[in-house]
């Protein structure tokens, strides 16, 4: 993660502060200071750097989340998911497609990402994947359906991040809200029938077994498509 240089920001004038802070943060993204996939500085750092109040900083971050450039992940922080508003446009377009098409798109992207991730993952990726597969299991035990969706999405996004392909990360993250909508109907069961497959997926990536990772991802998603007839 690259933190901004306080000297570059200075103390912003109070007039139109909200939009100026938003533009300041947006520039960090578009200029590459905050790369796609990176976690942005915490709120206290952003307040100190921009000279703006906490509420203004929160509003600016919220605006960029709404625009599709940032994504909040509960318990982990806020991450850069796009360098432009393109992902938001993709998300709006994808939101109108049938469930089958959403699942098929996810299958294509997830299976390819799993294969690539197995060949490129580093030790930091391994640590993250192992943590997130455990977090997914814990979310299921909690019974909180929203937490289940978020935990599942966080794991799948981590697989994509392990490809170290910034364009793929940007495209996938931009579509994640659509994929989450598709997943909502599949998290109501008290029994997590896919727990072992998710563990197998992570194990295959850790073992750098690209074929096994891709096949496991297909085994996770293809039955959901088949159920639609």
For the entire predicted model, the pTM comes to: 0.69
Helix 195-206 vs helix 99-120: crossing angle, to nearest 10: 30
What local confidence, expressed as pLDDT, does residue 198 receive?
96
Tally the domains of the chain.
2
CATH number for 171: 1.20.120.530
- Spatial separation of the C-alpha atoms in residues 51 and 17, rounded to whole Å: 10
Q: Where are the alpha helices (DSSP H) in the chain?
A: 6-9, 17-30, 43-50, 54-66, 86-94, 99-120, 123-142, 145-161, 166-183, 195-206, 210-226
Task: Confirm whether 220 is domain-assigned.
Answer: yes
177 and 147 in a single domain? The answer is yes
CATH number for 63: 1.10.10.10
Of 84, 105, 125, the one marking the end of a domain is 84
Residue 56: pLDDT over 90? yes
Using pLDDT thresholds of 50, 70 and 90, give the confidence band for residue 3: very low
Token pair belonging to 144: 């909180």
Q: What's the pLDDT tens digit per position in 163-172?
A: 999 889 878 8
Of 28-42, 106-120, 126-140, 204-218, which gets the smallest average pLDDT?
28-42
Residue 12: pLDDT over 50? no
Cα dihedral: 146, 170, 216, 147 (round 10): -10
User: Distance of alpha carbon 73 from its chain centroid, rounded?
Assistant: 8
| Full residue range of the structural domain in which residue 41 is found | 6-84
110 and 206 in a single domain? The answer is yes
125 and 26 in a single domain? The answer is no
Using pLDDT thresholds of 50, 70 and 90, give the confidence band for residue 150: confident
125 and 18 in a single domain? The answer is no
| Whole-number percent of the chain with pLDDT over 90 | 48
Task: Confirm whether 133 is domain-assigned.
Answer: yes
Q: What's the pLDDT tens digit per position in 162-199?
A: 999 988 987 887 787 778 777 766 666 767 888 999 99
- Spatial separation of the C-alpha atoms in residues 141 and 191, rounded to whole Å: 9
99 and 185 in a single domain? The answer is yes
User: In the predicted model, what is the mean pLDDT of the chain?
Assistant: 85
């Amino acid at each position: 993660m690259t933190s901004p240089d306080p000297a570059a920001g200075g103390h912003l004038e109070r007039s139109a502060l909200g939009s100026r802070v938003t533009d300041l943060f947006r520039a960090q993204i578009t200029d590459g200071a905050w790369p796609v996939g990176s976690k942005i500085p915490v709120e206290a750092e952003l307040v100190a750097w921009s000279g703006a109040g906490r509420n203004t900083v929160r509003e600016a971050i919220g605006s960029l989340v709404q625009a599709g450039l940032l994504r909040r992940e509960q318990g982990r922080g806020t991450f850069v998911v796009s360098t432009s508003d393109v992902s938001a446009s993709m998300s709006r377009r994808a939101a109108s497609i049938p469930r089958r098409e959403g699942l098929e798109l996810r299958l294509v992207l997830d299976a390819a990402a799993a294969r690539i991730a197995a060949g490129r993952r580093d030790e930091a990726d391994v640590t993250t994947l192992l943590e997130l597969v455990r977090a997914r299991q814990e979310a299921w035990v909690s019974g909180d359906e929203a937490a289940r969706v978020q935990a599942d999405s966080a794991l799948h996004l981590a697989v994509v991040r392990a490809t170290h392909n910034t364009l793929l990360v940007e495209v996938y993250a931009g579509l994640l809200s659509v994929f989450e909508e598709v997943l909502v109907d599949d998290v109501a069961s008290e029994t997590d029938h896919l727990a072992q497959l998710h563990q197998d997926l992570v194990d295959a990536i850790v073992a750098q077994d690209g074929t096994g990772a891709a096949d496991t991802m297909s085994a996770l998603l293809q039955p959901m498509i088949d159920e639609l007839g």
